[in-house]
Structure 1
Amino acid sequence: MKNRRKFLQVSAALGIGALLPLQFCSPKKESGNSNEESKFSSSSGNLGPFGIQLWSVKEDMMKDPKATIEALASYGYKYIESCNLGKGIFWGMKNTEFKDLMDSLNIEIIASHTNTFENLEQQAREAGEIGMKYLINPYVGPQKSMDDFKRLADEFNKQGEICKQNGLKFAYHNHGYTFDELDGEIPQKYLIENTDADLVNYELDLYWVYTAGEDPINWIEKYPNRFPLGHVKDRLKEADESQLDASTLIGEGSIDYAKIINTAKNKGMEYFMVEQEKFDGLTPMEAAEKNANYMRNLTI
């Protein structure tokens, strides 16, 4: 993108969702007991509740989803955003069983990444039954032409209607390709402006926006209330602009999250979901704990 080099150079002081097709999305601590929770009961920040995308700890979730979620709750996460790695968005449990687990830990499953092109009616019904707020399409891949994105906009409206009928909302999670000019247009702009705001929401992956050479704040301010969810993932300071897979611990990278989240909260973003994919010697659960500590102490 023509702005990319300039923006990254100018804004170095200032995220990557799953680079997989649509069906995607050993914990250190194994329980969320009161002693563990009290360890994280205080903080110096003012962000409020925050969550985590389970893709970040997918290996642990595949081994033992209950123990993993218990550990995440003990770190201070209050929201869960699930994903589908072949066991369904409830990780082999019934929707009500998964909800009971959330309730027992005083956390909430807000949303899930899933293939919204398959079995959407059933997925929306089960999600709506337990009070989830969003089903999120996480990836459609680069398209050959804007006509393809125009067809997707129509499809998103239809999927949004199905979600609405079941008491929840539909959202699309961006990657970098929707910010690359195609046939003289920016796909992300087209999708936002040509979908029904009552039916289609967007989850702004802040890492991806930044990695694409765009300023996340510009998008948040231009389209208030269209991004109710955001992925919080930092980018290595030393990463070359051509390096896409460069996530790191939040607060140790180049993205100014205090500034971005302050703007986002004022423009309708309600749910901030931690995500990380490269761990620099840490286990995914160790990184999740450190990221939770950053979020608890973030002052915006």
Structure 2
Amino acid sequence: MTHDPERTRDLARTLARRRFLGVAAGTTAAALLGAHTATAAVPAAVPAPQGHRRLLPPGRLGIQLYTLRDQTGSLGFARVFEELARYHYDEVEFAGYTQGSAGPINLAQLKRLLRDNGLRGVGSHVGYSSTDPNAYTFATNLTQVLDDAEALGLPYVGTPSSPNRYGDTVDAWKRAAEEFNTYGAAARARGLRFYHHNHAEEFSFATDDPRIRLYDVLLAETDPDLVFLEMDIFWAYVAQYRFSRRPDDTPAPFEPLDYVLKAPNRYPLFHVKDGEHDTAEQDGYRMVDVGDGDIDYRRFLATVNRRKGCDPRDHHWIVERDDAVDPAANPAGSLSTAERSARHLRGLRRQEH
């Protein structure tokens, strides 16, 4: 019989979850959830993908838990992780370590829940700075941030905050880049990697020199061995729509994928977030579940995976939808977003030529 590593991992996950939950035979996760939430019905589990021509590298599908913040805040991490395992996610990226009304939880318990559900923690979003000296940020509490990431066994810890702490001039971003280098060095000393996650505004232009794109300052002024990047693909394409011309209206087109191809080893993490092109929106796109929008993820993954000298296993593809908890924008609910997005990405196949 041919050995199938993914099938073996799925079986291990199932056995681990049964041991953890102690659920009697025949009891389903959907029944457990139904007694505790009035949100949309829990989707069926994603079927285990078949074949060996998948576009998504094995073991590299993750989700940013901000997408599911309503569920972790009411049901708790244990039941959310159970669902993510059913959808065949491999990894999660944290956006905080508390679970609201589900009750207190410590990092040791959280790490055990990951293990029991066959998941890995791949990273964590932490604020860059705050006017509150007691805030949990890199600027105010670097040691604790790194302690917590290390306790959870995370390989990456980073910030989704803009580097505009000191303004949007070239020198202001150079100053922020210097601090990012400091955080990166401190992370590396712990065996971790520090990263920055972009939104659209990073691709805007310096207020004191409209010829210069601020993201280019960040890349040039940070040490590539200390500061890594998580490209949020949706926000990068929003930026392409919004900042394709300089303030003086001269053309300044750019292609987000080109940034990755120039330095693929600086981009270990990606946010896979889809959008439907809509010029009535200021951003030019309206968020939707992955696979329902206009961003060509087949092309994006295939191009990155084919890059010479680039090992596909070095990249992690993390589902996120910022407004998944908004009933008006997403009436099917955040669990449906997690399920449908995983189904689409795992279903992508390499195109044969």
TM-score interval, normalised by the smaller of the two chains:
0.7 to 0.9
Query: Deviations for 1:252-285, whole angstroms, at most 9, x for unmatched residues?
Result: 1110001111222334651100001234321011
Unaligned runs of 5+ in 2: 1-28, 34-42, 128-137, 241-253, 324-328
Whether 1:67 aligns to 2:79 is yes
SS of residue matched to 2:78 = helix
Structure 2 distance, partners of 1:121, 1:245, is: 38
Kept after mapping to 2: 8 A contact 1:112/1:134: yes
Kept after mapping to 1: 8 A contact 2:230/2:267: yes
Kept after mapping to 2: 8 A contact 1:124/1:163: yes
Aligned to 2:131: none
Structure 2 distance, partners of 1:246, 1:270, is: 26
Structure 1 distance, partners of 2:90, 2:285, is: 27
Q: How does 1:92-171 map to 2 (within 5 A)?
A: 92-115=104-127, 116-140=138-162, 142=164, 143-171=167-195
Structure 1 distance, partners of 2:199, 2:296, is: 19
Structure 1 distance, partners of 2:176, 2:30, is: 41
Aligned to 1:229: 269
Kept after mapping to 1: 8 A contact 2:65/2:92: yes
Structure 1 window deviating more from structure 2 (214-223 vs 109-118): it is 214-223
Structure 1 window deviating more from structure 2 (141-150 vs 102-111): it is 141-150
Kept after mapping to 1: 8 A contact 2:168/2:214: no
Whether 1:254 aligns to 2:278 is no
Structure 2 distance, partners of 1:155, 1:238, is: 37
Kept after mapping to 1: 8 A contact 2:98/2:105: no
Cα 1:68–1:169, aligned 2, differ >3 Å: closer, same or farther? same
Unaligned runs of 5+ in 1: 1-26
* CA displacement at 1:95 relative to structure 2: 2.1
Cα 1:237–1:123, aligned 2, differ >3 Å: closer, same or farther? same
* CA displacement at 1:43 relative to structure 2: 4.1
* Identity, % of aligned positions: 28
* CA displacement at 1:224 relative to structure 2: 2.3
Aligned to 1:41: 48
Kept after mapping to 2: 8 A contact 1:171/1:203: yes
Whether 1:295 aligns to 2:345 is yes
Structure 2 distance, partners of 1:207, 1:126, is: 29
Which letter does structure 1 place at the counterpart of 2:168?
A: K
Structure 1 distance, partners of 2:224, 2:104, is: 33
Cα 1:59–1:244, aligned 2, differ >3 Å: closer, same or farther? farther
Cα 1:196–1:243, aligned 2, differ >3 Å: closer, same or farther? closer
Q: Give the paired residue count.
A: 268
Kept after mapping to 2: 8 A contact 1:178/1:187: yes
Query: Deviations for 1:99-122, whole angstroms, at most 9, x for unmatched residues?
Result: 111111111001000122232212
SS of residue matched to 1:167 = coil
SS of residue matched to 1:41 = coil
Which letter does structure 2 place at the counterpart of 1:272?
A: W
* CA displacement at 1:98 relative to structure 2: 1.2
Bigger Rg, which one:
2
Query: Deviations for 1:195-221, whole angstroms, at most 9, x for unmatched residues?
Result: 111111010011111111142211111
Kept after mapping to 1: 8 A contact 2:46/2:88: no
SS of residue matched to 1:212 = helix
SS of residue matched to 1:132 = coil
* TM-score, length basis structure 2: 0.70
Which letter does structure 1 place at the counterpart of 2:149?
A: A
Aligned to 2:204: 180
Structure 1 runs, 4 residues or longer, greater than 4 Å off = 27-31, 36-39, 85-88
Cα 1:92–1:216, aligned 2, differ >3 Å: closer, same or farther? farther
